[in-house]
Amino acid sequence: IFDIDFFKKVNYTYGHIKGYQVLKSLADTVKPMIEKNDYMLRWGGEEFVLILSERTLEEASAFAEKVRKAVETSDNGVCPVTVSIGVAAYDGKNYKSAIDEADQALYRAKENGRNRVEVS
């Protein structure tokens, strides 16, 4: 799970239309990076879920770092943004548990300074 750091500030400063432009740009940055069997979902607001179906936890963590760097260096036409990312493994049984673990890791990323990847 990942979301844009301080996105409310983007909307407040530049307006919701520009905020949407930032969201679209982020999706346009990340989508070409994912593979055929991966999925990217908008989870809500400025939060997204990546399902990396054929990667180990270590591979997913390395991929998350690539996403973080790509977003940090992308030009969305509005303002610089960063993302915080939480990574967790899915055991094939309980997807809710995997989402909860990734969400907890995301909050650790935010608590530890944002613009970083944390692994469950």
Residues noted as catalytic: 46
82 CB-near residues (< 8 Å, 6+ apart): 4, 5, 68, 71, 72, 114, 115
Q: Give, rounded to a whole angstrom, the gap between the first and last alpha carbons of the chain.
A: 11
Cα separation, 78 vs 34, whole angstroms: 24
